[in-house]
């Protein structure tokens, strides 16, 4: 299937995909064994900068933070889960942008977390579980549009639910959109640079 992948330390740390004349760089991080380390700030900043030199748009993905229903809210601090340092995901994501990332997609909490616009770049702190029912069985598919410099232009959330056979399906109730709106307001009371409509449209505030 020729599916590209990244994030394996010292082997397949990055991936580059060219589509419609645009070079996309993918860099993935996690705190786990054999992964490019989320908590190795010197290395991850260098890796993102190096990828940026070769590409037009850099997309960073990370597995980090605590897990479970109690982990919906961002603590804005280092998260320890089962004795493992899962990183400070807000600090990580913002440093990734400062190093050249244009879009940052987080995973690891197994629940959806808030989104943010930081220095004109889109950050999702966790997209929940997509193809497994998980704790709440809801997840967003983000459609993000940037300009040629990687600056956020607009976006849309396609709400997904997994019930019964655990196959992802469109959620007519738009449950995850409602949850993201709540988390945005709760975790970023002074604003996160974005507005999310009940229909899932993401616009600049």
Q: What pLDDT does residue 109 have?
A: 86
Q: Are the C-beta atoms of residues 60 and 53 closer than 8 Å to each other? A: no
Decide: 134 and 162 in contact? Cβ < 8 Å.
yes
pLDDT band for 133, please (50, 70, 90 cuts). low
**65 beta partners:** none
Residue ranges per structural domain of the chain: 14-204
pLDDT band at 187 (very low <50, low <70, confident <90, very high): very high
Burial 61-72 (b: 16+ CB within 10 A, else e): bbbbbbbeeebb
How far apart CA 170 and CA 156 sit, in angstroms, is 14
Average pLDDT of the chain to the nearest whole number: 94
Q: What residues are paired with 196 via a beta bridge?
A: 202
Q: Which of 184, 158, 186 is nearest to 172 (CA)?
A: 158
Give residue 134's pLDDT.
61
| pTM metric for this prediction | 0.95
How does pLDDT run across 154-166, given as a tens digit for each residue?
A: 999 999 998 877 7
For residue 129, the model assigns a pLDDT of: 83
Q: Say if CB 123 and CB 117 are below 8 A apart.
A: yes
DSSP 93-112: HHHHHHTT-SEEEEE-SSSB
pLDDT digits (tens, 9 = 90+) for 17-38: 999 999 999 999 999 989 999 9
Confidence bin at 135 (pLDDT 50/70/90): low
Q: What is the CA radius of gyration of the chain?
A: 16
Q: 158: how many CB neighbours lie within 10 A of its CB?
A: 16
Over range 42-56, report the average pLDDT.
97
Label residue 167 by pLDDT band (50, 70, 90). confident
What does residue 92 show for φ and ψ, rounded to 5 degrees?
Answer: -60, -50
Question: 41-54 and 89-98 helices cross at what angle (nearest 10)?
Answer: 40
Q: What is the pLDDT of residues 89-123, one digit of tens each?
A: 999 999 999 999 999 999 988 899 999 999 999 99
Give 128 or 126, the one with higher predicted confidence: 126
> Nearest CA to 25 among 103, 86, 81?
103
The percentage of the chain sitting over the pLDDT mark of 70, rounded to a whole number, equals 97
């Amino acid at each position: 299937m020729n599916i590209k992948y990244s994030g394996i330390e010292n082997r397949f740390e990055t991936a580059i995909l060219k589509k419609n004349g645009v070079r996309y760089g993918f860099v993935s991080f996690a705190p786990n064994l054999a992964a490019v380390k989320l908590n190795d700030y010197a290395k991850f900043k260098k890796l993102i900068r190096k990828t940026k030199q070769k590409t037009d748009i850099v997309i960073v993905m990370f597995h980090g933070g605590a897990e479970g229903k109690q982990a919906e809210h961002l603590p804005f601090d280092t998260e320890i889960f089962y004795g493992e340092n899962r990183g400070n995901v807000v600090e990580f994501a913002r440093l990734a942008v400062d190093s050249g990332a244009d879009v940052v997609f987080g995973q690891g909490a197994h629940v959806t977390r808030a989104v943010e616009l930081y220095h004109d770049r889109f950050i999702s702190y966790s997209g929940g579980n997509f193809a497994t029912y998980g704790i709440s069985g809801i997840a967003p598919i983000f459609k993000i549009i940037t300009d040629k410099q990687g600056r956020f232009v607009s976006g849309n959330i396609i709400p997904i639910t997994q019930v019964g056979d655990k196959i992802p399906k469109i959620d007519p109730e738009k449950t995850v959109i409602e949850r993201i709106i709540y988390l945005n307001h709760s975790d970023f009371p002074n604003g996160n640079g974005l507005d999310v409509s009940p229909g899932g449209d993401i616009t600049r505030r």
